[in-house]
C-alpha cells in the first residue's frame, strides 16, 4: 500500500515509529472521512505500529460550536472510528481535551513559532476570510496546537489530507527551531503521510471539489448515517458525463466526476483504479452506478448500523475515550516534563 509507513526513510532513527492523527468532531461524518481517514487507519492497524487517534475538540472550538452538538459530534466520531474497524485496544482513541498536556505543550510552541510563520498559513486565511479581525485568537494559533498534538507524543508519522501539508511543515519548523534554540535533539522531524488521490473523495455535484460536510447540498455527499435507499439514490443521481467508461486510466484524465466514481469503487472494493477500469471498461453509467451503489450499500450499511448501536450506549463511548486518554497521558506526561526541564521550568 502506498500509505505504508516507511520506517527506514525517516530521519528520526532515534525515535520509535509512532503514528498520530487528529480529526475534528464537527458532525456529519461522510464517505470522504471514511475512505480518506477512518478506513485507512483501520487498514494500517495491521502494520502493528503504535497509533494514536485524537478527536480534536479543542481545535473545533476555534470557531463557534454549540456545546450539546460538540459533545454529540465527539461521541459520534468515536463511534465512527470503531465502526470503521479501528480497535480501541490496539490503537489509542481519545478526545483532545481529556489530555491537558496538549494545551500545555501548545503554550511552549506559541513561544517558539514566529508571527510571520503563522501569518503564512493559508487555512487561516481561508477560514477567517475577509473578516480576519473578528476571527478568534485560537483560530490563528490552531497550527501550534496541532504541532503540540503531534510532538507531545514524539509522533514520527502523521497521516493527513493534502490540505494539512502546510501545518505539518510548520510542525517540522517548530521542532527544528526548538531543538536548535535549546541545543537538543529532542523532537522528531515528523513525516507527513499524505493520502493518495484514490482515497480523496470528491463531491457528487462537482468532481473538482472535495466532498464536504459543509456543502449546502446533501446530494453532494454520502453521510455515514445514510440508509441504503439514500446511498443508492445519491449514487444514481451523482453528476457524470455521457460517455462510457474508458479502457484505461488515461481516459479519465479530464473527467473528474467519472474518475471520482471509479476511485470510490476501487477504495471500497480494496482494488486499484486500474483494476476497476479493467473490469468495467466500456460500461455506461447506467450499468456502473448500480454496481457501485450495491457495493457502497454492502460496505457502508454495517458501519452505519454499528454507529447507531454504539451511539445508544453513551456510557460505553465515554469509557473508551477515558481509557484512551489515560493511555495517551502515559506517553505525553514524561515528554511534557522533559520539555519543561529543557525550557527551565521548575518542577518541585
Residues that bind ligand TRP (CB under 6 A): 20-22, 24, 56, 59, 146, 149-150, 158, 160, 164, 167
Q: Which residue is nearest to ligand TRP (CB)?
A: 22
Q: How far is the CB of 4 from ligand TRP (least distance, A)?
A: 18
Q: How far is the CB of 289 from ligand TRP (least distance, A)?
A: 30
Single out the residue of 217, 220, 204 nearest to residue 256, CA to CA. 204
Q: How far is the CB of 138 from ligand TRP (least distance, A)?
A: 12
299 is catalytic: no
In the complex with ligand TRP, which residue's Cβ is closer, 108 or 262? 108
**Residue 2 marked ligand-binding:** no
CA separation for the pair 32, 37 (Å, rounded): 8
In the complex with ligand TRP, which residue's Cβ is closer, 99 or 146? 146
Active-site pick, 177, 210, 233, 239: 210
In the complex with ligand TRP, which residue's Cβ is closer, 197 or 345? 197
Active-site pick, 39, 90, 125, 127: 127
* Whole-Å CA distances, 229 to 79, 296, 297: 22, 11, 9
Overall residue count recorded for the chain in this entry? 348
**Residue 1 marked ligand-binding:** no
**Residue 26 marked ligand-binding:** yes
In the complex with ligand TRP, which residue's Cβ is closer, 21 or 156? 21
233 is catalytic: no
Kindly provide the residue ranges of all beta strands, DSSP E only, lying in 176-310, ordered along the sequence: 191-194
In the complex with ligand TRP, which residue's Cβ is closer, 52 or 267? 52
Q: How far is the CB of 148 from ligand TRP (least distance, A)?
A: 9
Single out the residue of 139, 150, 143, 148 nearest to residue 53, CA to CA. 150
CA separation for the pair 200, 34 (Å, rounded): 10
210 is catalytic: yes
**Residue 211 marked ligand-binding:** yes
Q: How far apart are the first and last CA of the chain?
A: 48
Q: Cα 129 from chain centroid?
A: 23
Active-site pick, 39, 165, 213, 289: 213
Q: How far is the CB of 293 from ligand TRP (least distance, A)?
A: 29
**Residue 344 marked ligand-binding:** no
**Residue 213 marked ligand-binding:** yes
Single out the residue of 13, 24, 27 nearest to residue 146, CA to CA. 24
Single out the residue of 154, 147, 41, 27 nearest to residue 92, CA to CA. 41
In the complex with ligand TRP, which residue's Cβ is closer, 21 or 51? 21
Exposed e or buried b per residue across 78-115, where buried means at least 16 C-beta atoms within 10 angstroms of its C-beta: bbbbbbbebebeebbbbbbbbbebbebbbebbeebbee
**Residue 24 marked ligand-binding:** yes
Pair 206, 239: CB distance under 8 Å: yes
Q: How far is the CB of 59 from ligand TRP (least distance, A)?
A: 5
What does 97-150 look like in DSSP terms, one character per residue? GG-THHHHHHHHHHTTS-HHHHHT-HHHHHHHGGGGGGS-HHHHHHHHHHHHHH
Pair 73, 224: CB distance under 8 Å: no
Active-site positions? Answer: 127, 210, 213
User: Residue ranges for the binding site for L-tryptophan?
Assistant: 149
User: Residue ranges for the binding site for ATP?
Assistant: 24-26, 32-33, 161-163, 201, 210-214
User: Residue ranges for the binding site?
Assistant: 24-26, 32-33, 149, 161-163, 201, 210-214
Amino acid at each position: 500500500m502506498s500509505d505504508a509507513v516507511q520506517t527506514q526513510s525517516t530521519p528520526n532513527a532515534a525515535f520509535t515509529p509512532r503514528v498520530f492523527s487528529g480529526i475534528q468532531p464537527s458532525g456529519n461524518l461522510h464517505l470522504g472521512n471514511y475512505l480518506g481517514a477512518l478506513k485507512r487507519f483501520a487498514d494500517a492497524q495491521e502494520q502493528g505500529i503504535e497509533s494514536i487517534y485524537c478527536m480534536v475538540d479543542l481545535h473545533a472550538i476555534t470557531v463557534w460550536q454549540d456545546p450539546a452538538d460538540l459533545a454529540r459530534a465527539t461521541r459520534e466520531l468515536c463511534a465512527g472510528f470503531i465502526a470503521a474497524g479501528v480497535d480501541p485496544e490496539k490503537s489509542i482513541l481519545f478526545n483532545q481535551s481529556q489530555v491537558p498536556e496538549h494545551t500545555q505543550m501548545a503554550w511552549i510552541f506559541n513561544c517558539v513559532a514566529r508571527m510571520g510563520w503563522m501569518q503564512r498559513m493559508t487555512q487561516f486565511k481561508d477560514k477567517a476570510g475577509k473578516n480576519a479581525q473578528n476571527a478568534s485568537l485560537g483560530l490563528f494559533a490552531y497550527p501550534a496546537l496541532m504541532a503540540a498534538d503531534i510532538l507531545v507524543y514524539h509522533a514520527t508519522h502523521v497521516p493527513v489530507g493534502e490540505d494539512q501539508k502546510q501545518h505539518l511543515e510548520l510542525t517540522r519548523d517548530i521542532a527544528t527551531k526548538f531543538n536548535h534554540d535549546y541545543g537538543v535533539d529532542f523532537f522528531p522531524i515528523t513525516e507527513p503521510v499524505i493520502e493518495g488521490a484514490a482515497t480523496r473523495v470528491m463531491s457528487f455535484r462537482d468532481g473538482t471539489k472535495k466532498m464536504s460536510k459543509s456543502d449546502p447540498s446533501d446530494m453532494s455527499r454520502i453521510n455515514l448515517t445514510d440508509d441504503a435507499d439514500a446511498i443508492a439514490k445519491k449514487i444514481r443521481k451523482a453528476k457524470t458525463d455521457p460517455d462510457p467508461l474508458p479502457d484505461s486510466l488515461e481516459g479519465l484524465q479530464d473527467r473528474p466526476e467519472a474518475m471520482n466514481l471509479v476511485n470510490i469503487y476501487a477504495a471500497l472494493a480494496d482494488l486499484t483504479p486500474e483494476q476497476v477500469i479493467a473490469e468495467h471498461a466500456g460500461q455506461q453509467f447506467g450499468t456502473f452506478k448500480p454496481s457501485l451503489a450495491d457495493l457502497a450499500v454492502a460496505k457502508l450499511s454495517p458501519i452505519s448500523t454499528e454507529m447507531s448501536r454504539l451511539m445508544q450506549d453513551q456510557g460505553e463511548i465515554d469509557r473508551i475515550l477515558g481509557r484512551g486518554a489515560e493511555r495517551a497521558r502515559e506517553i505525553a506526561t514524561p515528554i511534557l516534563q522533559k520539555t519543561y526541564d529543557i525550557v527551565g521550568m521548575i518542577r518541585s
